[in-house]
């Protein structure tokens, strides 16, 4: 006689529900009692429990769990913001370059040349209201000049504008300029960060009607970002090469200088690997908070716990 097995629908549903449930996280992480906690020597952590995934934050700058969702710091926590500009004029008459900064400029469209030309024209006709012209002492031809500027008053919305408008008298070259710019920002709780002028997404607006509005990287008579001589090369032309004076602007995108990248953790464990211990080496003495984020998850739900404890690293004598 054949056996008949009856599976009731509610039992199938119960089994499916149980399959969807995430196992409640159980994770215990301790420091190996044999640790010495000296700079340059591995610190060993012991891992127990059922965590499928573990993220590790060492507590060092850039790897602190408390800053995982931080993307800016209060303006008052910015200790300094300095702009260093290096200029080298080449050939032609002096006086063809002006530098401005602003924290009120709303930016350009970048995809509507006529509108951006109109914006620049109105700005110039309005006497560059809202902009501060930086002091620029132009040196001799083919000689680099460096100048430093304090930008701490423009932290919330920083923009640089470079105006290249060399003289054209038909007898001398329209002057070329090589330009490098670098911003150093020092904020509490982070290492000083650096941004070059090209990191700020510059847009070129050529005001000469003979040219396309976003004319660039086209050799002589154009603003170039593809020349290894400098970050920006305003490439002039020889005497009489053009019947107009070059009139080009370079605007960086408005940028808050108090923004920071959020701190990142390191993936130690996932479903593909087993782990019962982990070692990490702190290179510098100091007090750190090591954080382990333990996670079990599926498409239905997530179980998560964070294990944190302080670690003091001392200099080995």
Which of 221, 251, 281 is a domain's end point? 251
For residues 160 and 191, membership in a common domain is answered with yes
Distance separating alpha carbons of residues 96 and 90, to the nearest angstrom: 11
Look at the block and give the residue holding tokens 């593909």: 272
DSSP 224-246: ESS-TT-SEEEE-B-TTS-SS--
Q: Is the pTM of this model over 0.75?
A: no
Q: In which domain, by residue range, is 281 found? A: 25-69+261-313
E strands present in the chain: 27-31, 42-49, 53-57, 78-90, 97-102, 132-133, 145-150, 159-164, 176-187, 193-196, 203-206, 222-224, 232-235, 248-251, 266-269, 277-281, 286-297, 302-313
For residues 63 and 131, membership in a common domain is answered with no
- Could you tell me if residue 18 is inside a domain? no
Q: What is the CATH number of the domain that holds 309?
A: 2.60.40.10
Which 3 state secondary structure label does DSSP give 18? helix
Q: What are phi and psi of 294, to 5 degrees?
A: -105, 130
Distance separating alpha carbons of residues 27 and 167, to the nearest angstrom: 72
67, two tokens: 């800053």
- Could you tell me if residue 11 is inside a domain? no
For residues 227 and 127, membership in a common domain is answered with yes
For residues 210 and 294, membership in a common domain is answered with no
Q: What pLDDT does residue 6 have?
A: 42
Cα–Cα distance list, 122 to 74, 126, 127, 233, 302 (Å): 33, 6, 9, 26, 55
- Could you tell me if residue 15 is inside a domain? no
Distance separating alpha carbons of residues 202 and 281, to the nearest angstrom: 40
- Could you tell me if residue 14 is inside a domain? no
Look at the block and give the residue holding tokens 């509507």: 112
For residues 278 and 294, membership in a common domain is answered with yes
For residues 196 and 304, membership in a common domain is answered with no
274, two tokens: 């087993």
146, two tokens: 């460096």
Asked if 215 and 275 touch (Cβ cutoff 8 Å), the reply is no
CA torsion sign for 165, 170, 172, 176 is: positive
Cα–Cα distance list, 38 to 80, 184, 289 (Å): 33, 32, 15
For residues 118 and 223, membership in a common domain is answered with yes
> How buried is 41 (Cβ within 10 angstroms: 0-12 exposed, 13-18 middle, 19+ buried)?
middle
Q: What pLDDT does residue 23 have?
A: 61
- Could you tell me if residue 4 is inside a domain? no
How many domains are contained in the chain? 2
Which of 223, 251, 279 is a domain's end point? 251
For residues 85 and 151, membership in a common domain is answered with yes
Which of 201, 227, 251 is a domain's end point? 251
221, two tokens: 């008579």
For residues 166 and 31, membership in a common domain is answered with no
For residues 229 and 295, membership in a common domain is answered with no
pLDDT (tens place) for every residue of the chain, 317 residues total = 444 444 434 433 434 444 455 567 778 899 888 877 999 999 999 999 888 999 999 999 889 999 999 888 888 899 999 999 999 999 999 999 999 999 999 999 999 999 999 999 999 999 999 999 999 999 899 999 999 999 999 998 999 999 999 999 999 999 999 999 999 999 887 888 899 999 999 999 999 999 999 999 999 999 999 999 999 999 999 999 999 999 999 999 999 998 878 899 999 988 778 889 999 999 999 999 999 999 988 767 788 899 998 999 999 88
- Could you tell me if residue 6 is inside a domain? no
Asked if 273 and 38 touch (Cβ cutoff 8 Å), the reply is no
Residue 189: CB partners within 8 Å, gap ≥ 6?
61, 67, 73, 77
Q: What stretches of 126-281 show up as alpha helix (H) in DSSP?
A: none
- Could you tell me if residue 273 is inside a domain? yes
| DSSP state at residue 290 | E
- Could you tell me if residue 16 is inside a domain? no
Q: What pLDDT does residue 22 have?
A: 52
For residues 268 and 177, membership in a common domain is answered with no
For residues 79 and 185, membership in a common domain is answered with yes
């Amino acid at each position: 006689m054949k056996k008949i097995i009856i599976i009731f629908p509610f039992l199938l549903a119960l089994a499916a529900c149980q399959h969807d449930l995430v196992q409640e996280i159980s994770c215990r992480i301790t420091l190996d009692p044999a640790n010495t906690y000296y700079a340059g020597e591995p610190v060993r952590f012991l891992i127990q429990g059922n965590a499928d995934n573990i993220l590790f934050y060492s507590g060092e700058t850039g790897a602190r769990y408390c800053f995982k969702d931080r993307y800016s710091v209060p303006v008052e926590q910015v200790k300094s913001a300095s702009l260093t500009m290096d200029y080298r004029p080449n050939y032609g008459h002096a006086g063809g370059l002006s530098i401005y900064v602003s924290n009120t400029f709303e930016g350009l469209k970048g995809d509507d040349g006529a509108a951006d030309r109109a914006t620049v024209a109105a700005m110039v006709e309005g006497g560059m209201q809202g902009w501060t012209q930086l002091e620029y002492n132009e040196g001799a031809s083919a000689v680099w000049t460096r100048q430093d500027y304090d930008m701490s008053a423009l932290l919330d919305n920083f923009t640089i504008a470079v105006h290249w408008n060399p003289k054209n008298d038909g007898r001398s070259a329209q002057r070329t300029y090589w330009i490098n710019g670098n911003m150093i920002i020092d904020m509490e709780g982070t290492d000083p960060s650096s941004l070059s002028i090209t990191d700020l997404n510059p847009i070129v607006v050529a005001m000469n009607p003979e040219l396309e509005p976003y004319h660039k990287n086209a050799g002589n008579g154009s603003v170039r970002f593809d020349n290894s001589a400098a970050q920006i090369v305003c490439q002039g032309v020889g005497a009489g090469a053009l019947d107009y004076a070059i009139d080009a602007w370079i605007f960086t995108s408005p940028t808050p200088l108090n923004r920071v990248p959020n701190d990142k953790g390191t993936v130690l464990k996932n479903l593909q690997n087993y782990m019962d211990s982990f070692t990490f080496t702190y290179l510098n003495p100091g007090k750190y908070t090591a954080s382990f984020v333990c996670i079990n998850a599926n498409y239905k739900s997530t179980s998560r716990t964070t294990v944190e404890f302080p670690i003091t690293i001392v200099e080995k004598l």
